[in-house]
A and B are shown apart, each in its own frame.
Chain A
């Protein structure tokens, strides 16, 4: 009887549990028409998208989408050089894959360096950085304008998650207020 009850309890508990399914990647995109280079931190959520990305990392890497999870340990360095409007822009992205040793080991540690005409101009973490508790979500190099813009947010503000299944008719509105 006790065994039966325990088994039933176990099944019922497991039924309502579901893992959060997500991954992250860094997207590098040169847009010579707009005289800019955009490096962004992207998130994928849901089994279909995540599984598709994890099944095709090499294919997406050739398109400039670099998966930052999906493997443990090791690192990858990506160097991209663009010649645009009389300038040379070298971007070095370093991805250190999750190591799983605690202290942020569940996340990747990524860095970005930008050399503009040979000189180091940007040196920053990219994506979520556990040590600084910040997320650098986008770096834009406006080549002809000779300017660089970086967007970052801390861990408390700047991003809202809205789960449709659990929203019970509430609408995601900003600045934060419930419309229903």
Chain B
């Protein structure tokens, strides 16, 4: 009897569990027609998109899209240089892949440095940073305007998830939340 109950219990438990498939990307895009460079932190969710990314890492890296959640790799440094409207903009992106040794080891540690005409202008953590508990989601360099914006959020505010089918049946996702 015990032998029957235990496998049944095991099966029942796992029929309700499903792993969350997600990964994070850093996207580097130079837009010379708009005289700007955009570095953004992007999330992919769902097995289909994540698997597609993992199967085509090199193709996407050639397009400036970098997966930050590759386990068993240590670090990667990407250097991009653009000459735009009489200025040189050098961007250095450093990705320290998840090490899984605790203290935020499940996430990657990423940094962005921007040198504008040779002088360091931006030095920020990028994406979610466990140490500072903030997520820097976008850095935009407006080259002709000689100006840079950085968008960030803390852990408690400004990002909401909505799951229409599984958790939020019938509810409409409205902002501002009420």
A contacts, CB < 8 Å to B: 21-22, 31, 33-36, 38, 43-49, 52-53, 85, 116, 119-125, 132, 134, 136-138, 140, 142-154, 157-165, 167, 169, 171-175, 179
B contacts, CB < 8 Å to A: 21-22, 31, 33-36, 42-49, 52-53, 85, 116, 119-125, 132, 134, 136-138, 140, 142-154, 157-166, 172-176
Minimum Cβ distance to chain A for residue B85 (Å) = 6
Interface of A is mostly: strand
Is there an interface contact between A35 and B158, defined as CB atoms closer than 8 Å?
A: no
* Apart from the given pairs A34-B52, A147-B163, A148-B161, 19 other A-B contacts in the complex at a CB distance below 8 Å: A44-B142, A46-B35, A46-B143, A46-B146, A122-B172, A123-B172, A124-B173, A134-B175, A142-B44, A144-B49, A150-B162, A152-B175, A157-B154, A159-B152, A164-B116, A169-B119, A173-B124, A174-B132, A174-B150
Contacts of B144 in A (CB 8 A): 45-49
Contacts of B22 in A (CB 8 A): 145
Assembled-state Cα–Cα distance A173/B24 (Å): 22
Assembled-state Cα–Cα distance A146/B46 (Å): 8
Is there an interface contact between A46 and B142, defined as CB atoms closer than 8 Å?
A: yes
Is there an interface contact between B151 and A158, defined as CB atoms closer than 8 Å?
A: yes
- B44, B45, B53 pick with most chain A CB within 10 angstroms: B45
Given A150-B173, A150-B175, CB of A172 within 8 Å of CB of B150: yes
